[in-house]
């Protein structure tokens, strides 16, 4: 058996959802989508000037954002380059050490005089 408050909760929930939908749909229609607009369609000089200024502002914001993004990418690449330089230096040191060990192993041991045989070469 349903409680008496069930229809009331459904009504409150429905009204809340309708209000939220109306609020968000009204905001979406009222907002201007940023971007380049064609200003030649404007009849009055004030509206055309406003349109052109809007385009300039959009382009300035876009250029600034792209400049910041590019600088961040350059900084990250420079950090990676520095890390790779350190790795190369370590690898060069290791190669030098290995070459030194290899030279020591390849060098013939000093020639020693043969030991006298025990056969009794009398």
Name residues whose C-beta falls within 8 Å of residue 54's C-beta, 6 or more positions apart in sequence: 37
Average pLDDT value over all residues in the chain: 79
pLDDT at 33 over 90: no
Which token pair is 91?
């690898």
Instruction: Write the CA distances from 57 to 50, 62, 63, 82, integer angstroms.
Output: 10, 9, 10, 38
DSSP-derived letter for residue 117 is P
pLDDT at 107 over 90: no
Can you tell me the distance from the alpha carbon of 58 to that of 37, in angstroms, rounded to the nearest whole number? 10
pLDDT for 41 equals 85
**Residue range 92-111: mean pLDDT, rounded:** 86
**Residue range 32-37: mean pLDDT, rounded:** 76
| Domain range summary for the chain, segments of one domain joined by + | 37-99
Q: Tens digits of per-residue pLDDT, 59-80? A: 999 999 999 999 999 999 999 9
Q: Which residue has the higher pLDDT, 110 or 75?
A: 75
Q: Which residue has the higher pLDDT, 25 or 27?
A: 25
pLDDT for 40 equals 85
Query: Is 98 in a helix, a strand, or coil?
Result: helix
pLDDT at 116 over 80: no
DSSP-derived letter for residue 112 is -
């Amino acid at each position: 058996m349903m409680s008496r408050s069930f229809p009331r909760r459904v009504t409150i929930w429905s009204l809340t959802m309708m209000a939220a939908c109306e609020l968000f749909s009204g905001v979406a229609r009222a907002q201007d989508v940023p971007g380049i607009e064609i200003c030649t369609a404007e009849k009055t000089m004030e509206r055309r000037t406003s349109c052109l200024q809007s385009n300039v502002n959009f382009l300035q914001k876009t250029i600034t954002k792209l400049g910041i993004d590019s600088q961040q990418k350059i900084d990250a690449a420079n950090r990676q380059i520095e890390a790779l330089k350190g790795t190369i230096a370590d690898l060069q040191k290791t190669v030098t050490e290995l070459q030194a060990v290899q030279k020591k192993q390849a060098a013939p041991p000093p020639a020693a005089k043969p030991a006298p045989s025990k056969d009794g070469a009398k």
